[in-house]
Chain A
Amino acid sequence: MNLPVIIKFVIDLLAVLLLALGIKGLSKVKSARDANRLAAFAMSLSVVGLLSYYLGTSGIAIQSWIWIIIGSIIGSLFGAILAKKVPMTSMPETVALFNGCGGMSSLLVALGVAIFPISNSVENLDFFKLLINEVSISVSIFVGAITFTGSIVAMAKLQGWLSTPGWTQSKVRHFVNIVFAVASLIAFFDLINGNTSSIWLLVIVSSLLGIGVTLPIGGADMPVVISLLNSYSGIAAAAAGFVVDSQLLIVAGAMVGAAGLILTQVMCKGMNRSLVSVLFGGSLSAQSPASSGSGEYTNITSCSVEECALTLEAANKVIIVPGYGLAVAQAQHTLREVTKKLEQNGIEVVYAIHPVAGRMPGHMNVLLAEADVPYEQLKEMDVVNPDFPATDVVLVLGANDVVNPQAKNDSSSPLYGMPVLDVQEARTVFVIKRGMSAGYSGIKNDLFDLPNTSMVFGDAKKVLNDLIGELKDLGVGEK
């Protein structure tokens, strides 16, 4: 072993260690931010290691430098700008976009190697090595393409650019996807047989497969899909590692792939969905066309903002249940103003955060933190549930399925078994909602029919603004 090889070995080892510590640290609140920086440092270190290795051995041509610089400047610049500009509410689709591009990168590397065989020219490889080479290229292209198109579809659906086409909810979609899958298998074997041109077939059908698999999935399940695609992009990176013979790539890719899989499972658990039903079940609302939600609402009490303000003023303890609707209305800052007023009046305010509140687990925490809500006021479901009976007022803002008592009481409900917030235990519940439309699941919410529940109809931001006005008139928080 000569010096450049040793140096690269040491740097790679160090980078793997730091990346592992980074992922580990990211799973604890205290260490998360430093861990993220540590991982970023490890990534830069790995680049330094690779470049110094080539400088010390084969050298790097001027032409290569130029293309390296062009690619890295453009990529980093766009990435940094997007990361700084994007609003916190669009976080899930941003992660999806980044993820798709990672998949695209693996795909391009494999494609490049396949079209222009480089390194130790193909003639030198024996049959076994050639096979490995082609298998890893195929896997990299297959997984990379699925990651890319799947992530782009997920992003477009979350942005609302793409809706769920009706045919994707019928059984036809399984047939179509099987055709794509079989076609990619044929292309794969054709490629191994030495027919290089079938690589394009592989690119096309695996891209289509990515679209076909993601398109039928409903918005509520999208976070799980993004997490799964994130795991895929790790696998694609590991496959690319086999293509260019890099252990570091294989370790890091495998680590992300495995960690992503675990995270996906954790998310599924929080939503009471199994991975299989997310992937193959289609969207939840289509699956159960109002099966148990067919019942009409019989006992809806609607009330004005003024009544709501009066009740709030008289309360001692208030729990806020924020949901996806709050994020859509961009009302988290207005909400913070309301709760500030209540707090100034000596009213205890707590936010109850359902594990999947917002669009992605943890998304609501991020949004409320952005609005300066003190971290200590955010209570997780298990902690806050026993508090509801001793609570005077619960404000439900744009949340629906996560406060549906059906999940506990009605074993025939598709929601049955999903962990929910027991808001109905509180003395009074106000549900601020635009209309009587159902939540993600498309299921009737029994909460709305309960005698202690009142509906305040209107856009969350507008209602909260009115609420601030009413509270002012009542002299709340005027000290």
Chain B
Amino acid sequence: MSFISLLWVLLLGSLLGLELIGKVPPTLHTPLMSGANAISGITMLAALTLIVKAGGNVPLLIIGSVSLGFALFNVVGGFFVTDRMLAMFSRKPSNKK
């Protein structure tokens, strides 16, 4: 991938992000923040790449592994906690009587 095309990817990705969130009811600010936060843990892919390409370099393997741990802590925790919050909203209508 050439640098220029990566820059295009960056630009289009940013524009997409700006467009996606138009009107958000205040109720959803906290869950949305938490869900977006989980997605930012996508760096786990970078950590994985690092580990795979490390070969026999043990310090690098360890750095990659710690990085992967941090990222997955972010991803797994983030999605679970968002689900917990959202479960409270969606429970209402069905569980009422």
Contact = CB atoms under 8 A, between A and B. Distances in A.
Nearest to B86: A33
Contacts of B93: 375
A255 interface: yes
A264 B13 CA distance: 18
Contacts of A46: 42, 45
A82 B77 CA distance: 7
Given A47-B45, A258-B18, A360-B29, 15 more contacts: A23-B32, A27-B28, A29-B25, A40-B79, A43-B41, A46-B45, A68-B68, A75-B76, A109-B47, A256-B42, A260-B17, A266-B24, A361-B30, A369-B92, A375-B89
Contacts of A94: 77, 81
A254 B36 contact: no
Contacts of B3: 128-129, 132
A237 B74 CA distance: 12
A105 interface: yes
A26 to B, nearest CB: 5
Interface stretch (A50-58, A189-197, A274-282, A293-301): A50-58
A118 interface: yes
A79 B18 CA distance: 28
A328 to B, nearest CB: 17
Interface string A197-235: 000000000000000000000000000001100100110
A405 interface: no
Contacts of A355: 26
Interface in A56-88: 58, 60-61, 63-64, 67-68, 70-72, 74-76, 78-80, 82-84, 86, 88
Contacts of A51: 48
B89 A234 contact: no
B13 A255 contact: yes
7 contacts: A67-B54, A68-B51, A71-B47, A79-B78, A82-B81, A250-B6, A254-B11
Nearest to A74: B69
A241 interface: yes
B13 A369 contact: no
A226 B47 CA distance: 24
A250 B31 contact: no
A221 to B, nearest CB: 15
Nearest to A147: B40
Contact of A105 (B37, B41, B88): B41
* Interface range on chain B (Cβ under 8 Å from partner): 35 or more
A92 B65 CA distance: 27
Contacts of A263: 21, 24, 29, 32-33, 36
Given A26-B28, A67-B51, A241 B46 contact: yes
Contacts of A115: 59-60, 63
Interface of A: 19-20, 22-24, 26-29, 32-33, 35-37, 39-40, 43, 46-47, 50-51, 54, 58, 60-61, 63-64, 67-68, 70-72, 74-76, 78-80, 82-84, 86, 88, 91-92, 94-95, 98-99, 101-102, 104-106, 108-109, 111-113, 115-116, 118-119, 128-129, 132, 226-227, 230, 233-234, 236-238, 240-263, 266-267, 270, 353, 355-356, 360-363, 365-366, 369-370, 374-375, 378, 380
Contact of A233 (B10, B24, B37, B63): B37
Contacts of A250: 6, 9-10, 13
A36 B54 contact: no
A256 B44 CA distance: 15
Contacts of A101: 41, 70-71, 73-74
B50 A112 contact: yes
Contact of A270 (B26, B48, B77): B26
A24 B32 CA distance: 10
Given A79-B76, A118-B53, A27 B1 contact: no
Contacts of B92: 369, 374-375
B40 to A, nearest CB: 4
A39 to B, nearest CB: 6
Nearest to B66: A108
B89 A76 contact: no
A279 to B, nearest CB: 18
Given A26-B28, A256-B40, A258-B18, A109 B50 contact: yes
Given A226-B33, A246-B49, A365 B27 contact: yes
